[in-house]
Amino acid sequence: MSFTFESLSESVKKALADMGYTAPTPIQEAVIPAVLSGFDVVGQAETGTGKTAAFGIPIVEAVSRRSRGVKALILVPTRELAIQVADEISKIGAKKRISVFPFYGGTSVNRQISLLKRDRVKVLVGTPGRIRDLIEREALSLSSLRFFVLDEMDQMLDMGFIEDIDFILSKRPENTQTMFFSATVPYEVRELARRYLKEDHKFVSVKSEVMAPRIEEKLYFVPYRRKLELLKEVLKENLNGGASIIFVKTKKDAFNLGERLKKLGFSADAIHGDLSQRKRESVMRRFREGKVKMLVATDVASRGIDVKAVELVVNYELPEDPELYLHRIGRTARAGGEGLAVSFVSPLEINRLKRIKSLNKVKAIRVT
């Protein structure tokens, strides 16, 4: 029998109904019953397939707000994703009044220690560096942990968090139920699963093939000096109320392009690694609320951006890593919607385009 939300407790079902959930997505249908049955899980799924709820629902279902200690720890690669995941799980646990907190660097560690001392945190969503720091300070104990989730594992490994991940995994109680989620499953992820997951763990792979055809892809072959002029034309053609994300390579590029768009009268802002945490959160909040329509972003800063209203993605500069192309265009057409991905290709970027096309997943149309 296939899994449905009807088998969940009334409080969780009511919370899901309030969030607009009607039926489980494929990743939820496969993962939730496996976790509720006690299995460790490796889930291969891209952002936008519903994987946060896939691990969040069984965690909330099993955790009591009256229990002592941190019951679930979820590691994510970035501050933005920590905030986003914590927010969604808070909504799932609203009727049960489950306390969920995001912990990450750039904010007061003393406040986080205070929350832990007062036993306020039942579900903790954090970045690897901050979580390791709290464990080493003996402020965070994992002795009561029931669930441990590593989300966006391939990104965390790409960002150099392997030592922190190894350290934190080694601190789990032996009976902790552990879940890995990753868009890709490279050797490093498989090796960590072999070392840390139970032998009978379940492997679930869900491709977002249903969503890919709903992204219209266009290529513009253009000299670099004309990119800004072309960008103005593309943005004006798509000013229909939806949001846009414009990808560049460096923090300096993000700042400069964001400022130039604002001077041209566009509702734009930039997000990059040089911004303070407060500023990053402010920019993302305004973008999600629709107060800013265009976001200029670097790849690292964009991780964790999941805004359903994004209708246009522009690759102002093509990425060096072809996999990042798929990550970028996946910011549009969320949850099966429709979207447009436009890429500007200068003569110096032809080799990057060839590497992207070699993935055999790109169906871009040459426009000019």
Instruction: Note down pLDDT in tens along the chain; length 368 residues.
Output: 478 899 899 999 999 999 888 889 899 999 999 999 999 999 998 777 889 999 999 999 999 999 999 999 999 998 888 998 999 999 999 999 999 999 998 888 999 999 999 999 999 999 999 999 999 999 999 999 999 999 999 888 877 899 999 999 999 999 999 999 988 887 888 899 999 999 999 999 886 543 444 788 899 999 999 999 999 999 988 766 678 999 999 989 999 999 999 999 999 999 887 777 678 778 888 888 889 999 999 876 555 566 667 889 999 999 887 777 877 887 787 655 678 899 999 999 999 888 888 765 555 555 55
Q: Which of 186, 98, 59 is nearest to 51 (CA)?
A: 59
Closest alpha carbon to 126 in 83, 71, 67:
83
Same domain? For 192 and 331 the reply is no
Instruction: Please indicate, yes or no, whether residues 185 and 232 belong to a single structural domain of this protein.
Output: no
Both 28 and 177 in a single domain?
yes
Whole-angstrom CA distances from 362 to 23, 206, 213, 329, 356 are 30, 19, 10, 10, 7
Residue 308 tokens, joined: 């359903």
85 and 194 share one domain: yes
Closest CA to 185 of 202, 161, 162, 205: 205
Q: Measured between alpha carbons, how far is residue 261 from residues 99, 257, 264, 283 in Å?
A: 40, 6, 5, 15
Q: What is the CATH number of the domain that holds 26?
A: 3.40.50.300
**Can you tell me the distance from the alpha carbon of 354 to that of 363, in angstroms, rounded to the nearest whole number?**
13
- Within this chain, do residues 180 and 262 fall inside the same structural domain, yes or no? no
Query: Quick one: 225 and 280 in the same domain?
Result: yes
Last residue of a domain, one of 205, 234, 249: 205
Both 218 and 201 in one domain: the answer is: no
Number of structural domains (the chain) is 2
Inter-residue contact 287 to 279 (CB < 8 Å): no
The number of C-alpha atoms within 13 Å of 174 and in the hemisphere containing its C-beta is 0
CA of residue 278 relative to chain centroid, distance? 19
Same domain, 102 and 167: yes
Query: Do 111 and 28 fall within a single domain?
Result: yes
Domain boundary pick from 156, 178, 205: 205
Integer Cα distance of 158 and 77 in angstroms = 10
**Which residue, 167, 187, 205, sits at the end of a domain?**
205
| Residue 251 CB neighbours (<10 A) | 17
Is residue 184 located within the same domain as residue 271? no
Full residue range of the structural domain in which residue 299 is found: 212-366
Residues 80 and 189 in one domain: yes
Claim to verify: residue 308 and residue 165 sit in the same structural domain: no
Residues 339, 280 contacting (CB under 8 angstroms): no
Residues 55/127, Cβ–Cβ less than 8 Å: no
